Structure 1
């Protein structure tokens, strides 16, 4: 049954990845309620397979239609679509899928061997250490993100505010309920995610008036084997992309910056760097390897520390909490079957995903011929059903639409959604860890420097927090010194 769930999950995931307006995080969020009746092992296998398929599916639209089905597929369009226009769509798709398979395989190996070690080490963590790790996660988004730090902090603060709505679990006081009975239970993160990602994306796409135009493609065995014969030439690019992806997945960088970073490095080190953007196969290998490695490696901190490395991992984390499982080091001791069942499924679903996408590309490409005016209402109905089934409350559909408007405004104003989702999911846990640490230390903040472990993590977090300010000041100083040098040269 688990293998059947895996195949269904991969197919659903590719479908989700192909459709602009859905995404990995939203596909998992919408379909999460369908898994409530399953065992946790079966449910996580199906959900991780959906995520897997979405990673694969994003490449299909990027290469054939120049429409990134996922944010991390943008870099794939740079060389993938020019290859398709030159009649090499089969080669581009085979290279993309095989590179994705390799990147994910490296990341799963990392999870297999590193997860038990990290979990064993994390058993030494107390409330202060856990809060320090949460703080590092939040500050990493500020210090390492591409978006302006002010926007990241604003999005995160909104997430923290939404996470506090309801009853304070420590004092029993009502917070931000405004005398409303409906707000006593707070906002369910799943309803928020469905609205922010799904409905927000649909509203934006409707405004832009999306039209699909692209190349058709069919992959035959001859093209697959010919492409596989060429790929070993790019082993260094693939390995570099996998390493970049693993690093960006474990730190809260995510698949999107990993794909761009890998593409940039490949362009810099390649002999054919000048030809990138005109249909170089290496330009497809680099971003796809990194994106899949990052998407998979994000599960490592989620399982071992309970800290997601991507928005989709944050949704999966919420799923674990719904099933009564507490991600963290004890998960490896108390729920061995669950953890190793998931890791075993990652190996299998990666292989199943590769086979599925290589054999079904024409079917999924044909989906894009359906008018968006038909697809959009179908996606909205699926979103509404997903939101309703969380608590069987029709009010959640209203919340979902409200969050959809917030998601739409965020995208229009170029505010990042990932920090908001992260704060919404982890806000309660970060607050609980902080308050426990304060109770233990009787309100003494020096508890966060009480030993080398917590002190190191807090110091790293603070460096991440002030890093953008330091970079800004240094750039201004350099700019001023350059200007002075130019003036001095002119006067001389």
Structure 2
């Protein structure tokens, strides 16, 4: 009851006029920041951090957290309507959100994303409120072997993303891992794979550069090649009745992905330095793996939209937990929030819940209010987002290209990355033309820089003994499950081959 009383007090505090205004402004601004390719929550919070010095510290953090919430919702907008991920957290939403939009079901995709985001945020808020100290201690028990086992599990869930063509999927993953290895070695500091001695490669391949190139420019080139530019909008006009029908269908066809993303996303978000991007990609892979109709994924499955959207919102709340309870940021955005708290004289850690009780519970209460506000504002703007899709393709294609270039430059401010993005777009077009799956490569370039150093740190801890991944109580079960999932497609192929051999004599 003490927790519920404190939460009620915190919600009342967050409903005070100034704090409520900060929530509404922050969520609305965050929605459009998330929808702009290349910006995302990290840049949005960093850019608007100086503005918060005009208000008290509690209201300032509430405002920044509201931007974070809004950006998580907004990332789905450009992923669905334009095929350009608004942020790295929304890349997985593109896999099924964009196909739905091209089928004239953009409203269904946007409603599914909004509802899944709300449920994911709500589940995360409840878990945060009830189990903050326990989950913080669990997060601390995750060392390099446990993190690597988790990354291995993520790769295992994505082995099936390329369909039945396992060799092409493995090639795609390996290609992504190579791209992720470019730059300075995180442990030795030595430069690696600096192609043609270009200094631009020393900073590594930026994930947003790859994502915008593949899903922005590459998608545009693919559409032009397939349709010769003759694309007619088949997007219906929005109405209250239509949104009600979409809401019912989204709840019916997206509930499984929503539940998986809500819980898995929060758990991954709690882990220090993991963040929402791995959580959304893992949730997509697990949802497809557990689906009764996995063949629908990548072609416009509402579950494929719901899983990553629920996960990235849940993970954004989860990443707040280690920041507040341990002083360890769970994502790049929470690292900026941590810096803001220190500037305002608030010291994150176990004592924060005792010394600054009013601030902590006011912030937690604002999570609930921000989540509800983000849902309502997002649903209200869906007709505007649908209107964008009614533009002629002769206008939309140049707009996608300009947004891709502007988004890539805003993220890195480096012309080398812009040329790289164009190369990735052209490369993605040819890979798609030869039926190579792109999603595993995107997963690899996200998780590779996390998996490689944790693998090497683990082997350093065990003096090169790989049994460390099997003997530790948390890493062991995760590693075994991952290996089973990795070899499962090979077993299926073997059984299929044996079945064909048995049928031949009968014929």
TM-score (norm 2): 0.66
Please give the alpha-carbon distance, in whole angstroms, between the structure 2 residues aligned to 1:193 and 1:235. 29
Partner of 2:423: 402
- Return 5+ residue gaps in structure 1 as ranges: 17-25, 63-68, 82-91, 268-283, 307-315, 326-330, 488-492
Cα deviations by residue, 1:394-420 (Å, 9 ceiling, x for unpaired): 222111111222222232233233322
Specify the alignment match of 2:208 in structure 1.
Answer: 190
Superposed CA deviations along residues 300-349 of structure 1, whole A, max 9, x for unmatched, are 5687699xxxxxxxxx9666678889xxxxx9979999999699557645
Task: Give the alignment partner of residue 405 of structure 2, picking from 384, 388, 393.
Answer: 384
Q: Is the 8 A contact 1:75 1:263 kept in 2?
A: no
Q: Alignment RMSD, CA only?
A: 4.7
Q: Counterpart of 2:474 in 1: which secondary structure?
A: helix
Q: Is residue 124–residue 262 contact of structure 2 (8 Å, CA) maintained in 1? A: no
Q: Which of 136, 140, 144 in structure 2 is aligned with 1:127? A: 144
Rounded to whole Å, the distance in 1 between the matches of 2:230 and 2:282 is 29
Q: How big is each residue's C-alpha offset from its partner over 1:243-283, in whole Å with a ceiling of 9 and x where there is no partner?
A: 46658876846559959987959x9xxxxxxxxxxxxxxxx
Q: Is 1:200 the counterpart of 2:218 in the alignment? A: yes
Superposed, 1:19-418 pairs within 5 Å as: 27=37, 33=43, 35-39=45-49, 45-46=66-67, 48-53=69-74, 55=76, 70-73=94-97, 102-114=115-127, 116=132, 119-143=136-160, 146=163, 148-177=165-194, 178-207=196-225, 208=227, 209-214=229-234, 216-220=236-240, 223=241, 242-243=258-259, 252=281, 254=283, 288=302, 291-298=305-312, 300=314, 345=367, 348-349=370-371, 351-354=373-376, 356-358=378-380, 361=383, 363-418=384-439
Q: Deviation digits for residues 17-56 of structure 1, max 9, x if unmatched? A: xxxxxxxxx8466786455413497667546534524647
Deviation string 1:366-390 (CA, Å, 9 cap, x unpaired) is 4334332223223322222222233
- Listed one character per residue, the Cα deviations across residues 444-477 of structure 1 (whole Å, up to 9, x for unaligned) are 2222223232221211111111110011112223
Moved more, 351-360 or 331-340: 331-340
**Contact 2:212–2:404 (Cα < 8 Å) also in 1:** yes
- Using the alignment, how far apart are the partners of 1:114 and 1:296 within structure 2? 14
How far is 1:130 from its partner? 1.4
Note the alpha carbon deviations across 1:183-228, whole angstroms, 9 max, x for none. Answer: 22222222222212212112222323252233652425xx379869
Residues 253 and 295 of structure 1: CA distance in aligned 2, closer, same or farther (over 3 Å): same
- In the alignment, the residues of structure 1 paired with residue 371 and residue 237 of structure 2 have an alpha-carbon distance, to the nearest angstrom, of 24
User: Structure 2: 5+ residue runs without aligned partners?
Assistant: 1-21, 50-60, 84-92, 266-278, 321-329, 340-347, 354-358
More moved, 120-129 vs 30-39: 30-39
SS of 2:427 mapped into structure 1: helix
